[in-house]
Amino acid sequence: MTDIAKGPAPAAAPTGSPMVRFDQVTKSYGAFVVLDQLELDVAAGEKVAIIGPSGSGKTTVLRMLMTLEPINGGVIWVDGEPLTSMRRNGALVPADARHLRRMRGKIGMVFQHFNLFPHMTALKNCMEAPCTVLGLSKAESEARGRELLVMVGLGDKLQHYPAQLSGGQQQRVAIARALAMRPKVMLFDEVTSALDPELVGEVLNVIRKLGAELDLTMLMVTHQMGFAKEFADRVCFFYGGKICEQGPPAKLFGSPENERTRQFLRAVLEAT
Amino acid sequence: MKFWDWPFTFEILPMLAWASLVTLEATILGFAIAAVLGLAFAIGRMFGPAWLSVPLAGFIEFIRSTPLLIQIFFLFFVFPEFGISLPAMTAGVMALGLHYATYCSEVYRAGLANIARGQWEACTALNLTAFHTFRDVIIPQAIPPIVPALGNYFVALFKDTPLLSAIAVLELMQTAKIIGSDNFRYTEPITIVGLIFLIFSLAAAGLIRLVEMRLNRRIRRA
Ligand SMILES: Nc1ncnc2c1ncn2[C@@H]1O[C@H](COP(=O)(O)OP(=O)(O)O)[C@@H](O)[C@H]1O
Ligand SMILES: [Mg+2]
């Protein structure tokens, strides 16, 4: 398995420095190793789907990238710079708050449970960070929030509170809120898993639209194999804290090489 | 001697009405201090570095475990020994505020602890500073559920203001005592003061209910 994980870079990855690089990244909780020397390069503009059984470390990969979890070893590179450390006199030292904030600005994340601010309207949810973090004026951030909410199909729900919206609508607000910070990398962690089946499509449609219209690098953890197949440039199958197999969706879904991948895909297909 | 003297009652009413303003002033200023300082205590204790949170926890425990009256005396009679002489009203209000801040901080702690982890994570993902995270996201969600508990302390603080009579602040109790000793009649002034406290307490409780209902409406909408 290890040799596959560390095998040659997939065909989809272009030359030049990647937008995101996990370099021997290790993450453990106590003695329990969640991710073991993870190696993963994601090119600018690439859309990577992360699949795998529950507990295989998929969420952890995204959370480390969003700086929500500290890492125990290795280096994560984003846009050519180390994420949680910085160069000082040639050596890598732990990043200070300023560096972390600058790096975080390149990344946006959408959560499984939306995590919208319940006391703010959809529009206010999208304005908060542009106002306070980017220093945009109220009018500018309002225009930006309005534009993005229109883009996700919620132009008529600007003044609604999260509790007044369906799950699918809330998740679309969350996507607009993340986009309002103009990130280069977007992380999606099972963004349709908490939704009723009939609401999944509207959220996937929005993600398709982002893929087509915006120049974003995307990492998405998903159980929607059909969507991964059609949307992703590359699919990574995680198993036991490692990338067990990865490749273009046609290859990975069509003729998986690894027995574990085959087992997982069989199980998922049976469930649906 | 009559049990109740109506002319005397009407004679002393203006004085007591005036004193009730002093009581209200002490209550409102004291609670303003308690509300702000209590929040600062809670945040410092929950999120501050160890050099802050550990001594702070000890200090809060100390204040909570000693009588308010002693703290009032301390600020008024002992602080001058350190070169800090405070007017009686100032010392009294500060003692009330500090004492109730320690109680309020426990309430705030419960409110802050109830905020879902996802809210904090969304703030990190959106790159909000700690200041904006607290001001715009965490505190507005933490406060509405604890308004009833804070309201109880508001009323409790109000009912503790007679302690300020011990350092001769001219609030309701002190005024009643002076009227009583000047006229050798305590029945009317003390009874009226009790009634004024009752009326204000009931009014405050009603006000808190109103605030609570308005906040709940907002939360349900949210
Ligand atoms: N805070 C934590 N403390 C201890 N173990 C954790 C924690 N978070 C995640 N884990 C463990 O790490 C493993 C990977 O978790 P996660 O990345 O959420 O998996 P996935 O998203 O693939 O289902 C799981 O076994 C989980 O139990
Ligand atoms: Mg997960």
* Residue A128 to residue B222, Cβ atoms within 8 A: no
- CB contact under 8 Å between A104 and B125, yes or no, is yes
pLDDT for B123 beyond 90: yes
pLDDT 10s digits, B5-23: 999 999 999 999 999 999 9
Give pLDDT, residue A161.
Answer: 96
Q: How far apart are CA A47 and CA B39, in angstroms?
A: 45
Fold of B20-221: MetI-like fold (1.10.3720)
* Cβ atoms of residues A234 and A49 within 8 Å: yes
The single-letter DSSP state of residue B145 is G
Task: Reply yes or no on whether the pLDDT at B220 is more than 80.
Answer: no
- Kindly state whether B65 is in contact with chain A, defined as any CB-CB distance less than 8 angstroms: no
Whole-number pLDDT of residue B221: 53
Helix, strand, or coil (residue A148): helix
Q: Which of A50, A60, A69 to mutate to test the pocket of ligand 1 (most atoms within 8 A of CB)?
A: A60
Q: How far apart are CA A268 and CA B90, in angstroms?
A: 71
With an 8 Å Cβ cutoff, is B124 touching chain A?
yes
Chain B residue whose CA is closest to A182: B126
Task: Tell me the per-residue pLDDT of B194-208, one tens digit each, with 9 for 90 and over.
Answer: 999 999 999 999 999
How many CA atoms, within 13 angstroms, populate the side-chain half-sphere of residue A122? 29
Asked if A161 and A118 touch (Cβ cutoff 8 Å), the reply is: yes
Rounded CA separation A163/A122 (Å): 10
As a whole number of angstroms, the distance between CA A238 and CA A261 comes to 9
Question: What confidence score (pLDDT) does residue A272 get?
Answer: 66
CB contact under 8 A, B218 and A119: yes
The per-residue pLDDT for A87 is 83
CA gap B158, B179 in Å, rounded: 21
Other CB atoms closer than 10 Å to residue A80's CB: what's the count? 10
> Facing residues of A107 across strands?
A185
Closest atom, ligand 1, to C-alpha of A238: 22
pLDDT at B219: 61
Q: What pTM was estimated for this model as a whole?
A: 0.89
Do residue B221 and residue A164 have CB atoms under 8 angstroms apart?
yes
Tell which atom from ligand 1 comes closest to the C-alpha of A190: 21
Token duo for residue A243: 């990338």
pLDDT digits over B151-185, tens only? 999 999 999 999 999 999 999 999 999 999 999 99
CB contact under 8 A, A117 and B119: yes
| pLDDT at A270 (0 to 100) | 84
Interchain contact A130–B (C-beta under 8 A): no
Q: Which of A110, A128, A138 to mutate to test the interface with B (most CBs of B within 10 A)?
A: A128
Q: Where are the alpha helices (DSSP H) in chain A?
A: 2-5, 58-65, 97-104, 122-132, 138-151, 167-179, 197-213, 225-231, 249-254, 259-271
A190 C-alpha vs ligand 2 centroid, how far in Å?
A: 7
What is the Å distance from ligand 1's center to A241 Cα? 10
Q: List chain A pLDDT tens, one digit each, 272 residues.
A: 333 433 344 444 445 689 999 999 999 999 999 999 999 999 999 999 999 999 999 999 999 999 999 999 999 999 999 998 888 888 888 888 899 999 999 999 999 999 999 999 999 999 999 999 999 999 999 999 999 999 999 999 999 999 999 999 999 999 999 999 999 999 999 999 999 999 999 999 999 999 999 989 999 999 999 999 999 999 999 998 999 999 999 999 999 999 999 999 999 888 76
* A245 min Cα distance to partner chain B (Å): 29
